[in-house]
Structure 1
Amino acid sequence: MRKCQLCVYVLLILISQSYTISDAAVRGKKCPDNEYWNEKGFCCDKCHLGYKLKEKCTGPNTRSQCMQCENGTYMDNANYHENCFSCRKCNKPNSIEIKPCTSKRNTECGCKPTFYYKKLADLDWACYKCKECEKGQRKTGECIGEENTKCECEENYYKNGKQCTLCDTCRPECKHLCISSTTPYSIKSVSPTKPPATLPQVLLPVCACIMVLALGVFMLYEGIRLWKKRRHALSLQIPSPASEDKTFIITVPPEARNDAIPFTDQPCETEQSRKLPDCVPREIKIHEFFYFVLEEVPIGRFKELVRRLGVSEQNIGRAEQDHRNCKDAHYQMLKVWSDSGSGGGSNVLPCHRIQMFVDTLKDMNLVSCADDIENRFLSQDTSTPH
């Protein structure tokens, strides 16, 4: 019997240690903020706000299946929960609904006019009647939102508990009723003197003058810049006399035709023909460039890259929802970027767009990736004999 009890104790100790080791292993794994650690041993992406988890991802670089919250429920943060939260009901006395519940936001409740909102606990609240200023008080703050009406004592009144009482005797709050002992019968009139100028009063006009001066200088600079720009544009539109093609008509008298210098049938070489290029740029296919980029750029920095290239968060989220495979989603993001540009044709990417792509990678300190792309598509001889 004792041997059996000893075996049970040893078995319990081993089970507890195995759970401790597995918990420590899970805590040691770190995932990005938009992912969570799966019990199968890899990171899974979280669902966006307004969605709940339907099915977990099946492996690395795959996406979880999410479902939008039903009517009457919401989810206001990225999550991997299987259920959404129930919407709040504005059913308190004197309460009204300010903003309705959506799949991404809970209901926002408020109070009717002449009532203010007061939070009682984390999930409890109520609407209380706004107070009115009593006799001898004046209003200093309106009753709105979570603020009750604010009142203070009027002139010639003093604070007496929660009420304001009219001054009737000499007291610190009623100094106008106190008479100095040195002048019991007469009060010396003192002519009002102008208070000395304080620092804020001096700085205010100085700052105003500086702002007006700076605004005038800025407007003058902008006017000169626009004038120069317009003048430069006009100079480009008006051709110079030297560049215009002139046609000369030469009249040869009949007696001099026989002595004229004979013309040959050699073709004339124009300046334009001498400047024709002897090569044309090689076309860079979009899919060739995209697959090369997907192998070079780290997966963890890809969203940052497309954001810097101008792809909106809406297009990024749509690409992730449409493609469970990570690389397919990244390919779609690159397609959105290429479609936003111009030049090169429907399946051809112009060189200046690739140069912008390389400069963006260098700004992200991904110099090695930028150099590989530049050597692959920009630095080589991109021309063929014409």
Structure 2
Amino acid sequence: MAGFGSRRTWKKQDTACTLLFLSIFILTSGSEPLEKQSCRLGDYLTQSGICCTKCSPGFKLEKDCSSHNERTMCAPCPRGQYTDQQNFTPNCRRCKDCGEHEEEVSTCDGKRNRVCRCKPGFYKDVIDSATYQCFQCKTCRSGERQTEKCSSDHNTVCECEHDYYRVKKKCLPCRNCTDSCKHHCPSQVTRPRDVENHIPKIALIGTGVLVMLLMTVAFVTYKATKVYTKLKLASSSPQPEASEETTKIVICNEESCYHDCNAVPQSTASGKGQPSLPDCIPLEIKISDLIYTVLDLVPVPRIKQLVRSLGVTDIEIERAEVDYHTCKEAHYQMLRVWAEGVRGSRGGVLHWPLMQQLLDKLKDMYLEEAIDKLKTKYGIV
């Protein structure tokens, strides 16, 4: 029995030794890969677990080293390729080619890529960190001035000239600045707030004075025409001699109508005084002739703007468009509504204040050429 007990003791000891040996083996075998995975700076770990040196810039990997004491086999990059860092890649990178609107700054020499820039007259438009395009530099247009020249990195910078403001990518002159554009016009003097508050009252008073003046002119014109007609009828039958004062009054009234009248009293051939008539004849402008002239001078897209400024309502404009099939006929009717409106018609002849109103509205629309041609045609000074 004693022998049997000793055998059991030996078996237990053998089992304990075996377990101890296995534990040491596992710990030892597990620590070896950790040591192999750590290489010094400038080396890389191969698939076989060996640390090899990296290839220098301008070279590529040809063959891994076979032991720790050997160097990696590297080969120079072919022409037209490069590597700009230490590496262990088997392929070099392809050199960049300059585009159509680019010029070369530095060549590709195996260690660095080719460097390009936009040609003069072109600028770089960046797409992302590695991509860009070259676009042609813009030129400042009318009403603009250049604040920054175009370079290879940015486009030309333009801004509106002094007393100009931008509307839909165009610079327009600041003429009679409104509230929407006056902050673009540095030359405009800022008016005090109390003055601005009185502007509507002043405008209302000015409108009233203008209406009174027009009514006065119309009344004087009516009286002058009436007196002129009476004198003309009286000239066909013997009448008492008219005084110079009466004749001068008639002439001055005519002067307020259309043209300057420099008429002086004239004596009759018989020596017996008859009332002398003015040397000038009031300017007669036929409405139909004027309308066709305006339609030829004013651009078609701006006819509605003109008739609205002359006081033709939107209802009358729409009625003309419905009643007439062509644009020209409709536009003719719109202008006719204006010309034959209140105090407009006088036997088919346009009233002078309406002619002046037409010239003023054309001036507000900057149609100077149309104004000049109308003045030339009708002899308006």
Same fold (TM over 0.5): no
TM-score by length of 1: 0.37
Q: Flag the structure with larger Rg.
A: 2
Greater relative contact order (Cα < 8 A, sep 6+): 1
TM-score by length of 2: 0.37
